[in-house]
Copies of this chain bind each other. A is one copy, B any other.
């Protein structure tokens, strides 16, 4: 149970790049970071427009002297202070992730970076190397993975409750962009521009979220081969896809299906995952995140819920209330940020943090998956060896 008792000596001082006015994503980062007294947001370069960014930061009760024109200024000025930032949250469009993260690590800052981490595997490997060299954490916000029932799923697989895993059915298919909303919506516009979004749209924007859930739940499974078929139903989005199906074959003989889409009209809560084992399956849906369906062949379907005594202890650690306290996405994020803070604290104090969280490897593996998907898709949706 987590009732807000502090886990660190003092909050980590953090700054933010991007995530300014009108954006929901910056808000949820800030709420998650500060929720458990683990981070203190004290600096920011919130906007490409410095004036607007400064105004926004003041509104967040941040000392105006620590509101900067851009990340470069922030990193430089904060470095000179005794009470300078120790970490940075990067919530910009994709094309800036690499350069800002690189600069941050080189400035000895811990980083929490939005996904996808980079455009290429090569860039991601660079960042991984930098992260190791500077002994700084590089975390990515695969933000649905902080739900307690994801941990329960992981424990069930680990304990063999499902038997051998055979099929992983992954879906992240919403309908918000069924038409070319990007014409009037800045936060969608950059996502369909290869220069700003990278080599893919829905694969990298949402597909990797549910991919990461599968990796956390089934850490033993490794992709060996993959094929991806992608389309641009809104034609102006080409070459970026707004719909894709990936089939992947794992080392143990299991298969995975992953449907990524933003044109699944009418779907408001588009993510779900089903893990099929020899004995039983489990299924989790984004819109009922505190529940997990557990279906043993030949037995009644069981609906497990967060906070309950029958869960594995690991799945109860982050619970923030009685069973009937319905938790949502903010809690999932906060749970992850709490782990980020502990991991940062641990490495800074020469210790090891042993709970999983979406780390630099996970960021790298997501980019690798996108790269493989795009390679297959652009080669006639052919099967390729996963590299």
**Across the interface, which residues of B come within 8 angstroms of A309, CB to CB?**
298
Report how far A42 CA is from B367 CA in the complex, Å: 45
Is the beta-carbon distance between B326 and A61 smaller than 8 angstroms? no
Q: Confirm or deny: A259 has a beta carbon within 8 angstroms of a beta carbon on chain B.
A: yes
Q: Confirm or deny: A346 has a beta carbon within 8 angstroms of a beta carbon on chain B.
A: no
Q: Confirm or deny: A294 has a beta carbon within 8 angstroms of a beta carbon on chain B.
A: yes
Whole-angstrom distance between the Cβ of A159 and the nearest chain B Cβ:
16
Whole-angstrom distance between the Cβ of A158 and the nearest chain B Cβ:
17
CB-nearest residue of chain B to A163: B265
CB-nearest residue of chain B to A177: B297
**Across the interface, which residues of B come within 8 angstroms of A299, CB to CB?**
266, 310
Whole-angstrom distance between the Cβ of A38 and the nearest chain B Cβ:
11
Q: Mark A283-311, 1 if CB is under 8 A from B, else 0.
A: 00011111000111111111111001110
Is the beta-carbon distance between B321 and A329 smaller than 8 angstroms? yes
CB-nearest residue of chain B to A270: B324
Q: Confirm or deny: A229 has a beta carbon within 8 angstroms of a beta carbon on chain B.
A: yes
Q: Confirm or deny: A320 has a beta carbon within 8 angstroms of a beta carbon on chain B.
A: yes
Residues of A within 8 A of B (CB-CB), count: 93
**Across the interface, which residues of B come within 8 angstroms of A196, CB to CB?**
none
Q: How many monomers of this chain does the complex have?
A: 4
Q: Confirm or deny: A380 has a beta carbon within 8 angstroms of a beta carbon on chain B.
A: yes
**Across the interface, which residues of B come within 8 angstroms of A276, CB to CB?**
175, 261, 263-265
Whole-angstrom distance between the Cβ of A303 and the nearest chain B Cβ:
4
Mark out the residues of chain A between 24 and 70 whose CB falls within 8 Å of any chain B CB in the assembled complex: 24, 26-28, 30-31, 35, 37, 56, 59-61
Q: Mark A229-248, 1 if CB is under 8 A from B, else 0.
A: 10101000000000101010
**Across the interface, which residues of B come within 8 angstroms of A56, CB to CB?**
5
Is the beta-carbon distance between A300 and B308 smaller than 8 angstroms? yes
Q: Confirm or deny: A216 has a beta carbon within 8 angstroms of a beta carbon on chain B.
A: no
Report how far A321 CA is from B277 CA in the complex, Å: 26
Q: Confirm or deny: A6 has a beta carbon within 8 angstroms of a beta carbon on chain B.
A: yes
Query: Which of A85-93, A97-105, A166-174, A349-357 faces chain B?
Result: A166-174
The 7 closest A-B pairs by CB, nearest first: A266-B295, A328-B328, A300-B302, A3-B27, A326-B328, A265-B297, A301-B303
Given A37-B61, A327-B329, 18 extra CB contacts under 8 A: A1-B24, A3-B21, A4-B31, A24-B320, A31-B320, A166-B263, A167-B261, A175-B276, A179-B278, A231-B255, A245-B255, A265-B276, A265-B295, A266-B295, A268-B323, A294-B300, A300-B302, A328-B330
A binding-site residues for B, Cβ under 8 Å: 1, 3-6, 21-24, 26-28, 30-31, 35, 37, 56, 59-61, 162-163, 166-167, 169, 174-176, 178-179, 227, 229, 231, 233, 243, 245, 247, 249, 253, 255, 257, 259, 261, 263-270, 276-281, 286-290, 294-305, 308-310, 320-331, 380-383
A–B pairs, 22, beta carbons within 8 Å: A3-B27, A24-B320, A28-B325, A167-B263, A169-B259, A175-B297, A176-B324, A178-B278, A227-B227, A261-B276, A264-B276, A266-B296, A266-B297, A267-B295, A269-B326, A287-B326, A298-B308, A298-B309, A300-B305, A325-B328, A325-B330, A327-B328
